[in-house]
Amino acid sequence: MKKILVPTDFSKLSQNALVFAQNLAKGFKSELVTFHAVKYANLPSEPLSSEEYTAYRTGEKNYYAAEIVRFANEYLPDLIVMGTKGTEGLEEGSLDGITTSVMQQISIPLLAIPHTTSYRPIKEIVYASDFEQDDFKVIDQLLRFAQVTEAIINCIHIRQDGEYWDGNQSSMYDRMYLLEQSNSLINYHVLHGNDILASLQSYIVEHEIDMIAMLTRHNASSFTRKIALSTDIPLLAFHK
C-alpha cells in the first residue's frame, strides 16, 4: 500500500479517521495525503423551508462527494479513509453522508471509520463471502494487508434455511476450504442464520473482530450501508 487518501472537513469525525490513516501509513510506510474541498457559493438571503434546506444540503453533499471522487481518480490512492457516525446514524449533509456517497461511486477500496471507535491495531478481520469469483481478489488484497498488520482473516458465509448450492457454489466452498488449509492467516466458517445482518453482528461480537471487509456493488450498496450504520468497528469496502 503506497498511497492513502484522507478527505477531511476538519471535524472530529474526520480527525478520528485521520488517526487511523496515520497509524496505517506508519505500518505500511505509505504516503499520506489529506484533501479538503472548498465551495464558494452565495448563501440564501431568505430563510429556507425544510424542503428547500434538504435540497440545499443534498446539493452540498453531492458536490463534495463528486470532488472527492474526482481527486481520488487523479491521485489514485491504494486506500481512502473516511469517517462515519456508525450506530448513531447518518446526517446526509455531513461528511458521514458524503462517505456513503463516495463509497457507492468509487472503485478504490474505502475504509469507513466510526467516530466512536478509538484506534487499535487490526488483528481480527471478518470478510463476508457470498461465493463469488471476486471473493478471491478481495482475499488476495486482504492477505497483503494482514501480512503487514499480522491479522487473521475470518472468511464467513451465512447460509440461510433452504439455501441451495449449485455446482459453482459448491466449487467455491471447496476452493475456500483449500485456501484455509494452505494459509495460516485464513479461517473459513459457514454460519447458519436467516437474518444475515444479525448473524454477522453476533460473529463480530463473539470473535472480537477489529474490522469488517465486504465486496459491494454500485447498484446493491444498501446492505453495505446498513452494516456501516449498525457497527462501531471499521468497515473496508471493496468494489466489484
What CATH number corresponds to the domain at position 64?
3.40.50.620
Q: Is residue 219 part of a domain?
A: no
Burial class of residue 222 (count of CB atoms within 10 Å of its CB; 0-12, 13-18, 19+): exposed
Q: Which residue has the cell 447460509?
A: 159
The predicted-structure confidence for 191-221, as pLDDT tens digits, reads as follows 998 888 889 999 999 999 999 999 886 544 5
Position 232 pLDDT exceeds 70: yes
pLDDT of res. 44: 62
- Grid cell 471493496 is found at 238
- The pTM of the full predicted model, rounded to 2 decimals, is 0.85
Asked if residue 191 is part of any domain, the answer here is yes
Q: Per-residue pLDDT averaged across 63-71, rounded?
A: 91
- pLDDT value of position 93: 38
Q: Are residues 101 and 178 in the same domain?
A: no
Regarding whether 103 and 15 lie in a shared domain, the answer is yes
Q: 61 vs 41, which has greater pLDDT?
A: 61
Instruction: Note whether 152 and 108 are same-domain residues.
Output: no
Judging by beta carbons within 10 Å of its beta carbon (0-12, 13-18, 19+), is residue 150 exposed, middle or buried?
A: exposed
Does 43 fall in a domain?
A: yes
Same domain, 104 and 135: no
Q: Measured between alpha carbons, how far is 204 from 214 in angstroms, rounded to an integer? A: 14
In terms of domains, do 138 and 103 share one? Answer: no
> Do 109 and 139 have their domain in common?
no
In this structure, are 106 and 9 located in the same domain? yes
* Residue 163 confidence (pLDDT) above 90: no
State how many domains the chain has: 2
The 3-state DSSP class for residue 91 equals coil
**Between residues 69 and 9, the one the model is more confident about:** 69
Q: Which domain holds residue 45?
A: 3-114
- The pLDDT-based confidence of 94 (bands split at 50, 70, 90) is very low
141 and 191 fall within a common domain: yes
What's the CA gap between 134 and 239, in Å, rounded?
9
pLDDT at 96: 54
> pLDDT tens across 18-34, in order?
999 999 999 999 999 99
Per-residue confidence (pLDDT) for residue 225, from 0 to 100: 66
> Where does a domain end: 80, 114, 148?
114
Q: Quick check: is 218 in a domain?
A: no
Residue pLDDT, tens place only, 51-63:
665 666 667 778 8
Provide mean pLDDT across the span 96-106. 82
- Determine the residue type at 137: K
What is the structure's pLDDT at 194?
A: 87
- Determine the pLDDT at residue 120: 92
- Average pLDDT value for the chain: 85
Select the more confidently predicted residue: 130 or 91.
130
